[in-house]
Amino acid sequence: MSLSIAGMSWVTPLGSDVDDVWQRLLAGETAPVEILENEENGARYLVRRVPANTPFPAHSRLRRASAISRFAAAAGLAALAEVKLPPSLDRIALVFAVSNGGVVYTRRFYSEIVKSGAQSASPLLFPETVFNAPASHLAAILGINGASYTVVGDGAVGILALKLAEDLLASDDLDFCLVVSAEEIDPLVCEAYRQWRFLRNPSKPTGHGMIMSEGAGAVLLERPDESIPSAAAHASAARIEQIVPGRNFFRRSEAAAELGAVVARLENGIGFGVGSANGTFIGRAERAAVGNKLPLYSPKIALGESVGASVLWQLIAAAQALKTGTLPGGLELPANSPALVLACGLNQQTGGLTLRLRQRE
């Protein structure tokens, strides 16, 4: 079933304004890279962080919350602000995608247990370690009191969250679904990916491997019911035509085949793709899945690997490419062709979707 994108927003290491960040990506900019050091073992990592001067909403629920909740709140509120008619709060659901979650507080909480003993564990930190804490804060800020789901997975989790949203919107009970994804950087997560041999070596900043990043993405999906006045205000908003969560690859060598199976289930005539290449095996797998001719762009090369947040970044980038008719690198895109968003995680999950430009309503 097709879903209109009534609003969209992101918080990225390159900024938080959708059009501005897109123009900077088109101009070939990449987000600044900095070094993050791990106090536990002295390891150093290349990271792309959300700028410290990024404005975040002020709300009592965010006072003690971790960065991930602030990123999510900023993106979610901005996506909602794009609609002309504010959705009725009892007809909107929240779906949240995350991979590592509130890892900053999780590490701090467990660190206290290990270093000082269980009796020192903080009752203030523990609730923020739960995967659905950011979704809970956002629901409270927005006043959503109906369905709220947090979906966890790897870098492809955003596709599964969008599929869940699509299934929710099959019901007459809802008109909108706000899909939000977010992630925050922590040395513990960086170390895990380093030991898994996926990270770029800080001494070889132009080499292979990925650079971790953080931020959030949000899209407000609207059920395409003729009887509902459209809330969409976004001049060139896109419409998701088809969402295909993929099968799992049990070995890396199977990733290309599973991605190919996803592409085969999506509509024909795709004009370009926005993939999830991040400097690891994923780029090769995606290229093998779509063939050599399809233009394929990955925002992760400029913005970094934000894992749980990344699919919505890809979706927003694809919508912007449809709107502007071009991809970073100066490639002009064929008119009226659907875009492919292809997602491959590092831990076995795959998926894809297609989207098209929607006519102004």
Partner 1 sequence: MNSAKQDPHRVAVVAAGIVSPLGFGLTETLQSLRQARDCVTPVTVFPVDKTRCKTAGQIDDEQLLTKAQRCRRARRLHRASHMVITALAELLEDAPGFPPEIVIVGTTSGGMSFGENFYRTLGNGNGCSAALIANYPPQKQIVDAMEKFGMNVPAEVIANACASGTNAIGHAFNAIRAGRYQRILAGGYDALSELVFVGFDSLQAATPEKCRPFDSNRSGMVLGEGAALFALEELESARSRGAEILGEIIGYGISTDNHHLTQPNPDGSGPRRAMEQALAQAKLTPDQVGYINAHGTATILNDSAEGKAIMELFGDVPVSSTKSMMGHSLGAAGAIEAAVTLLALQYQFLPPNINFRESDLSLNVVANEAHEAQFNCAVSNSFGFGGTNATIVFRKFAR
| Least CB distance to partner 1 at residue 74 (A) | 19
To partner 1, the closest distance from the beta carbon of 33 in angstroms equals 23
Does residue 203 touch partner 1 according to CB under 8 A?
no
* Whole-angstrom distance, CA of residue 156 vs CA of residue 12: 18
- Closer residue to partner 1 (CB): 9 or 129: 129
Instruction: Rank residues 116 and 201 by Cβ distance to partner 1 and give the closer one.
Output: 116
Q: Which of 23, 132, 230, 242 binds partner 1 (CB under 8 A)?
A: 132
User: Rule CB under 8 A: which of 287-346 touch partner 1?
Assistant: none
Please name which of 309, 313, 320 lies closest in space to residue 299, comparing C-alpha atoms: 313
Give residues 48-87 in contact with partner 1 (rule: CB under 8 A).
Answer: 61
In this structure, what token pair is assigned to residue 239? 């419409």
CB-nearer residue toward partner 1: 14 or 151: 151
* Per rule CB under 8 A, count of chain residues that contact partner 1: 77
Q: Which of residues 219-238 bind partner 1 (CB under 8 A)?
A: 224-225
| CB nearer to partner 1: pick between 107 and 287 | 107
Question: Site residues for partner 1, window 31-50 (CB under 8 A)?
Answer: 38, 40-41
Which H, E and C letters describe the chain, residue by residue?
A: CCEEEEEEEEEECCECCHHHHHHHHHCCCCCCCEEEECCCCCCEEEEECCCCCCCCCCCHHHCCCCHHHHHHHHHHHHHHHCCCCCCCHHHEEEEEEECCCCHHHHHHHHHHHHHHCHHHCCCCCHHHHCCCHHHHHHHHHHCCCCCEEEEECCCCHHHHHHHHHHHHCCCCCCCEEEEEEEECCCHHHHHHHHHCCCECCCCCCCCCCECEECEEEEEEEECCCCCCCCCCCCCCCEEEEEEEECCCCCCHHHHHHHHHHHHHHCCCCCCEEECCCCCCHHHHHHHHHHCCCCCEECCHHHHCECHHHHHHHHHHHHHHHHHHCEECCCEECCCCCCEEEEEECCCCCEEEEEEEECCCC
Interatomic CA distance for residues 128 and 141, integer angstroms: 16
- Pick from 30, 131, 230, 324 the residue near partner 1 by CB under 8 A: 131
Choose between 159 and 296: whose C-beta lies nearer to partner 1: 159
Q: Segment near partner 1 (CB under 8 A), from 10-18, 112-120, 200-208, 285-293?
A: 112-120
Applying CB under 8 A, the span of 28-36, 77-85, 154-162, 335-343 interacting with partner 1 comes to: 154-162
CB of residue 321 vs partner 1: minimum separation in angstroms? Answer: 26
CB 149 to partner 1: min, Å: 6
CA 220 to chain centre: 13
Binder of partner 1 out of 4, 9, 66, 129 (CB under 8 A): 129
Tokens of 174: 């809802």
Check residue 140 for interaction with partner 1 (CB under 8 A): yes
Closer to partner 1 by Cβ: residue 252 or 287 = 252
Nearer to partner 1, 118 or 335 (CB): 118
Applying CB under 8 A, which of residues 27, 58, 119, 235 lies at the interface with partner 1?
A: 119
Phi and psi at residue 180, to the nearest 5°: -125, 140
Q: Please identify which residue in 5, 83, 98, 178 interacts with partner 1, judged by CB under 8 A.
A: 98
> Is 132 or 324 the residue whose CB approaches partner 1 more closely?
132
Write each residue from 242 to 271 as x if it is in contact with partner 1 (CB under 8 A), else as -, in one continuous string. Answer: ---xxxx-x---------------------
Asked if residue 188 binds partner 1 (CB under 8 A), the reply is: yes
Q: Quick one: which of 27, 172, 206, 330 contacts partner 1 (CB under 8 A)? A: 172
The residue length of the chain stands at 361
- Cα separation, 174 vs 286, in Å, equals 35
